[in-house]
A and B are shown apart, each in its own frame.
Chain A
Amino acid sequence: MAVEILMPALSPTMEEGTLSKWLVKEGDTIVSGDILAEIETDKATMEIESVDEGVLSKILVAGGTDNVKVNQVIAILLEDGDDENAEPVKEAIVSQETVPENNIVEEEAENIESMTPVAIEIDVPAGTKMVPTTIRDALRDAMAEEMRRDDDVFLMGEEVAQYEGAYKVSREMLDEFGARRVIDTPITEHGFAGLGVGAAFAGLKPIIEFMTFNFAMQAIDHIINSAAKTRYMSGGQMSCPIVFRGPNGAASRVGAQHSQDYAPWYGHVPGLIVLAPYDAADAKGLLKAAIRDPNPVVFLEHELMYGEVSDVPEMDDWLVPIGKALVRREGTDATITAHSRMVGFSLQAAEILAKEGISVEVIDLRTIRPLDEETILASVRKTNRLVTVEESWGRMGVGAEVAAMVTEGAFDYLDAPPKRVHQVEAPLAYAANLEALAMPSPERIAQAVRDVCYV
């Protein structure tokens, strides 16, 4: 029976990729384990191998094709005795690192793309060209611009140099800046975080990349005890200008140890600045601001959003101020606060609710610490209702803090108790259905807004 070879998903977040090169040609006899092609994903170039045997009858997607969707048929394999015209069976290729795709999360990720970014409040001169940019490239551009500007800035972490970043964030940086300033470390988070803090004490401005913030728990002593506290403990003598950055939050189907939003962990600590951008313009502008800031900054990216595209103003120095939230959508009936990927979910919820006649204001916190209390309070004083949204657990979370702050600062304006939407109080499950049930969704957010509006 003819077998359809499908474009495989080679990572949990892959939706499409480049079929760089076929390593077999039509008419070749294939045995199981043969390397068929090279595929470039959002993270890496990988070889894929066949699980089936037969003769490669047709190549449907030529080598060098970009944006090949996962599960698209890329070739047909005829097994012994097959008729070329027989109805083919779909067969994904398996590679060593193939991870099953997650339909639920991918569906949500597509929904995010449909969001319309709202104008940024900072003055962008009229006529400034807006360049559609992935968050991945926005981050890279921010680091590269700051490294061109200041020789004290360097990037260090696992796989940041030759591999160009586990998520390809540091693409081409080794080529431009060389091994002195783009430094591959051993897998040694505690050690290189401490080394980075020591270098910052000596006046350098390190950017320390964690492959994910889940791994930064090995290093959290240096982030808190060494980086955050030293200025205070030294009576203001010592400075620690360092950025800790990397993907944060729940990815898709990677299990509990790789799925966590650390915003409330670091947001708890005086002496740290904590940032969590949503779109590419903020990713770039906030990271540049973080690198220039004299304080230790925890910069939380989202693993599922690196490939998201939005406009970045083409300016010599695009900086977004730390400590300022952004009203992403104006509304009158309820306020939603969210950060990172949950901003997209909240905007979708606002769309759903608009159709029901409920007008929602969506605030993108952007900076978790220090929290922009003024913007949140002003909004709640207008809408009189608050829903907080986050990926992390609810207890002692960002939403808990926002709700407490609003209760203290605008109690008389509230027409309903604030409501929190967050991950359920359990480690994140691997099973697709449980994972989806555990996390906030646009519908769940919309329901929370209906609840506080008593409809």
Chain B
Amino acid sequence: MSKAKPKTTKKSKLKKKSTKFVSSDLLSYYREMLLIRRFEEKAGQMYGMGLIAGFCHLYIGQEAVVVGMQACIGDGDQVITGYRDHGHMLVLGMEARGVMAELTGRIGGYSRGKGGSMHMFSTEKNFYGGHGIVGAQVSLGTGLAFANSYRQNDRVSLAYFGDGASNQGQVYESFNMAKLWDLPVIYVIENNQYAMGTAIERSSSETQLHKRGASFGIPGVEVDGMDVLAVREAGEMAVKHARAGNGPIILEMKTYRYRGHSMSDPAKYRSREEVNEVRSNSDPIEHVKGLLLANDFADEAALKAIDKEIREVVNDAADFAKDSPEPPVSDLLTDVLA
């Protein structure tokens, strides 16, 4: 069971230093994490009602990772990830309505209903997907960084992938080129400790994934991915590193997903107790809530008000996603070619 603990005992140095925060930051992280949590809970519910079909990978438990990283990037920086992508889109400012309507396969979705949970994009928000092939986003994200380097601007790209993807060959092909050409890419490994149903110890000869760049000369840092402030601090360092032209860097976020790999996952590979332990002791939202209350940045009533507001956003998105029509038949053969 100890393997499941997202490093509550072995905190990184970054975590220890992460004490600087202001109330407005903390409140917005709380709000963003809660939006993802409530959105995903609603998606899970709608899946159960048959409104969402196919694959649907929920981000519950991992919220601190994208919220902390989002705080470190700016306009024009690019984000790409795999199939567990709802949280990434919401923190980038993509509309909850559009994301949910894509989940229901409706015209109001970001891909007009043609992509689904794993395939959404927003050129406006610099979100490049949403990719269903494990590891593909690492090469693609390296290509986004290549484009920044080619254009000689100071943008960086964030390529998110999981502990499972980190065993794909193309990850290392990308690492090699990224360092060879010092491309401004930040590899964010969301190590939630299970590649679908396979625990990291059963799939990885080296389980400390931040060391995986060592033979390419890429620095790597282990980060408590359940602590949004630790994530932010590591993220700021990494973005600065990449933006300054020092090439790629790896951040291994030790995190945990509470739900199954996908909706149809019975999760027999881990115990209910293991999940509950992380939930009770390391929940990223409870952590921030505790800080807000302890520092008198907010009281229970204020937090309840935020909660209510988020629920309204999510319910509105769900209603929109239910009411939005299916794509017209005339869409069947559009957008195959330009």
Contact = CB atoms under 8 A, between A and B. Distances in A.
A1 interface: no
Given A226-B133, A237-B121, A191 B139 contact: yes
Give the most central of A193, A201, A202: most B CB within 10 Å: A202
A429 interface: no
Given A235-B110, A238-B123, A198 B176 contact: no
A295 B338 contact: yes
Given A154-B150, A191-B139, 5 more contacts: A186-B176, A190-B173, A197-B139, A202-B144, A235-B110
Contact of B336 (A185, A188, A203, A231): A231
7 closest Cβ contacts across the A-B interface? A198-B143, A194-B139, A191-B173, A235-B112, A202-B147, A198-B140, A236-B335
B153 to A, nearest CB: 11
A275 to B, nearest CB: 14
B217 interface: no
Given A190-B139, A235-B112, A237-B123, A198 B177 contact: no
Nearest to A235: B112
Contact of B114 (A190, A204, A221, A235): A235
Interface in B227-281: none
B274 to A, nearest CB: 34
A230 interface: yes
Give the most central of A222, A234, A293: most B CB within 10 Å: A234
A232 B80 CA distance: 18
Interface band, chain A? 35 or more
A196 interface: yes
A271 B334 CA distance: 11
Interface in A88-112: none
Contact of B170 (A180, A190, A200, A295): A190
21 contacts: A186-B176, A191-B174, A194-B143, A198-B141, A198-B143, A198-B147, A201-B140, A202-B148, A231-B336, A232-B114, A232-B335, A233-B115, A233-B121, A234-B115, A235-B112, A236-B334, A238-B121, A238-B128, A271-B336, A273-B337, A293-B338
Contacts of B336: 231-232, 270-271
Interface string A153-193: 01000000000000000000000000010000110101111
A244 to B, nearest CB: 14
Contact of A198 (B119, B128, B169): B128
B150 A204 contact: yes
Given A204-B147, A239-B338, A273-B337, A194 B114 contact: no
A271 B337 contact: yes
Contacts of B112: 235-236
A225 B147 contact: no
A200 to B, nearest CB: 8
Interface string A192-218: 111111111111100000000000000
Contacts of B334: 236
A295 B140 contact: no
Contacts of A202: 78, 128, 143-144, 147-148
Given A194-B140, A237-B123, A199 B150 contact: yes
A238 B120 CA distance: 10
A196 B282 CA distance: 40
Interface band, chain B? 35 or more
A235 B139 contact: no
Given A198-B147, A201-B144, A236-B112, A231 B335 contact: yes
Given A221-B136, A237-B122, A199 B143 contact: yes
B111 interface: yes
A294 interface: yes
Contacts of A195: 139-140, 142-143, 146, 174, 177
A231 B338 contact: yes
B225 interface: no
Contact of B147 (A203, A236, A271): A203
B29 to A, nearest CB: 29
B180 interface: yes
B131 interface: yes
Contacts of B109: 235
A235 B177 contact: no
A268 to B, nearest CB: 13
Contact of A201 (B128, B176, B180): B128
Nearest to A296: B337
Give the most central of B129, B136, B140: most A CB within 10 Å: B140
Contacts of B173: 186, 188, 190-192
A180 B141 CA distance: 19
A186 B180 contact: yes
Contacts of A221: 133, 136
A209 to B, nearest CB: 15
